[in-house]
Structure 1
Amino acid sequence: MNDQQENKKVVWLASYPKSGATWTQGIIRRAGIHYGVPQGDFDVYKLIKSGGNPPTSKTIKSEIIEERCAILKTHRAWNGERILHSEIPFEMAAFVHIIRNPLDMLLSYINFTRIQYKNQPTNSRFQRKLFMEFMGFEKPLTLDVWLDMDLENIPKKNLDCALKNFTKNNLQVPSLNLVGGNWLEFNLSWMKAAKKFPSVMIRYEDCIHSPSAYSALTEIFKFSEENILDAAKYIEKARKEKSSDQDKQVFYNKMSSYYYLDFFSSDFIGNFLQKYQKEIELLGYPDLPTTK
């Protein structure tokens, strides 16, 4: 354990991959810019890889913690302990649980695989698991073909195949299971954590509908609701600006809610909901639609 890390505290931004943590990070950084919120990346995995120490600040409400505290983003399911990542042994002071409905998350993941593929263009195992085993293509697609193929151009039968496998395999998706477990395990674990630590849950869909949903952050952070709304306007303006960065275009593609209805067949959506309705209701989605 690094001496500088001993007895330090952290507020986690906990989300399953492709569920809105990066957007939430941007809101917190901007809303807290005059409150000392660190302006770097909150990604714990990058921090672990670099071997650095998390920056800390006194931006958390004093009734939660009075000393300086780190703010970090994780995709790991809660392990039942105060320390989540042994590589950075900060004790949890509080957390923000960001959740997104699993069907939109699945589409966002499929979209994100273009960046994953570009970062590992010769990984034949990744190609086989994604294209053949998960999405039902007869053979892996080339990198150039996949980079040019947005969601609207993927055959519906292959998207339905992905949903069928997602349903059959307990909401696991290739590569993400190694990071956060499956969607259910991850989100249920943080619901359990909410019984032990100060926390707020934020639904991605609510924030898309109205940035005021982020006002729940004021239960943990010192900044105001007005700061949050100003930050949301700033982030939205920045997102809409045209960028030559293809990865950013992929990363922020389809910032909308319940768009799965445009891509999956209603029968496959119905089968999914029939199997997981109880768990999904428990996690805050009692009325996911099957048709537009």
Structure 2
Amino acid sequence: MGAENRRICWLASYPKSGNTWTRAFLRAYQVDARSPINPNDIGKISRSESRRRYFGLVSGIEESSLDEAAIRSYRRDVQELIAKEIGDFQVAKTHNATVSPFGERLIFPEFTRCAVYLVRNPVDVVDSLADHNGLSIKDAIKLMNDPGHQIGGPGDPFVTQFLGTWSDHVRSWTQQDSFPVLIVRYEDLKQNAIAVFTQVLRFIGWPVDHQRIARANEYCSFEHLQEFEMRNGFGELSDRSVSGKFFREGRVGTGKKRLTSEQAEQINAHHEAVIQQLKYC
């Protein structure tokens, strides 16, 4: 299959690692924002290969009637459709790992141009994951350590997405060689967002305008996103969220304050190799 079909640029991450913030920046940059953006519009910058309606489109089957076997058989068709329809200034969001459950791919290199992989310190991820899913820290740690961890599925607007453990997810994207991957650490974004977002734009092949980058960075700031959600709500907020906020804190190091030393050590022991690889120790 020719290079003309390799049009998807993935924005991939384990949940709660900066994917939404990055899409907010790309949306602000796309429209050359001159005021704070509406985060409910960030879907205009991205597609999701796990959205159930795509499977209804390619299969001709009523969405609610699609079982897991049918979904597995149509994943490739969905990504082929996205590759044909995706705009030059759009990306595709995914939380899937690049694995092959049941012997069938989740991410297809023949439709992939590149990927930006967003990653965050797992001690902070578990704190955010617990709040988002209405879990205790103990149960969130179990989830991050679960090789069978899945999200979405029957009755959900998104089909089943296969995450696995946090380490397995990171490795699946960063240690494959089917397409180029830019690794972006959430902590680096927080430290120097303009420099990192500039790197992202260059990597995905968008034109770089430094004044436009500065405006986009200002108008997609975490504070602006928080204020918008407080006043208007945000469509990606989980109905299980403990805090009732999607844009809760967005800080680096909150996990260390909320986890016990034993809980932090449990995460570090389970994910030691990848934590060292990413220089989180």
Q: How many matched pairs?
A: 221
Quote how far apart the aligned CAs of 1:259 are: 0.5
Please show how residues 60-209 of structure 1 align to structure 2 within 5 Å: 71-79=91-99, 84-85=106-107, 91-114=111-134, 135=136, 159=137, 161-162=138-139, 165=142, 169=145, 175=151, 179-193=162-176, 195-209=177-191
Structure number, greater radius of gyration: 1
SS in structure 2 opposite 1:39?
helix
Please state how far the C-alpha of 1:163 moved relative to its aligned partner: 6.0
Contact 2:12 2:93 survives alignment (8 Å):
yes
Does residue 245 (structure 1) correspond to residue 233 (structure 2)? The answer is yes
Residue number among 49, 54, 78 corresponding to 1:48 in the alignment = 54
d(CA) in 2 for partners of 1:183, 1:199: 18
**TM-score (ref. length: structure 2):** 0.66
Q: Quick check: 2:9–2:92 contact (8 Å CA) kept in 1?
A: yes
In 2, the alpha carbon distance for the partners of 1:164 and 1:27 equals: 29
- Provide the rounded CA distance (Å) in 1 between the counterparts of 2:186 and 2:147: 18
Which segments of structure 1 move beyond 6 Å, counting only runs of 4 or more? none
Alpha-carbon spacing, 1:215–1:204, altered in 2? closer, same or farther (3 Å): same
Closer/same/farther in 2, CA of residues 17 and 49 from structure 1, 3 Å limit: farther
Residues 149 and 163 in structure 2, CA contact (< 8 A), matched pair in contact too? no
TM-score between both structures, scaled by the size of structure 1: 0.63
Taking the aligned partners of 2:30 and 2:266, their CA distance within structure 1 comes to: 43
Query: Residue 216 of structure 1 aligns with which residue?
Result: 199
SS in 2 for 1:17: coil
Structure 1 residues 273 and 51 mapped into 2: Cα distance closer, same or farther (>3 Å)? same
Counterpart of 1:285 in structure 2 is 279
- CA positional deviation for 1:170: 5.0
The answer on 1:57 being equivalent to 2:87 is yes
Question: RMSD over aligned Cα, in angstroms?
Answer: 3.4
Closer, same or farther: CA 108–172 of 1 in aligned 2, 3 Å: farther
| Distance apart, 1:285 and its partner CA | 3.0
Return closer, same or farther for 1:216/1:84 CA change in 2, 3 Å cut-off: farther
Letter aligned with residue 185 of structure 1: D
Residue 25 of structure 1 aligns with which residue?
A: 23
Corresponding residue for residue 148 of structure 1: none
Q: Unpaired runs of 5+ in structure 1?
A: 1-5, 60-69, 115-129, 136-158, 288-292
Change over 3 Å in CA distance of 1:172–1:205 after alignment to 2:
farther
Opposite residue 269 of structure 1, the aligned amino acid is A
**1:8, CA displacement in angstroms?**
5.6
Are the structure 2 counterparts of residues 38 and 273 from structure 1 closer, same or farther at C-alpha, using a change threshold of 3 Å? closer
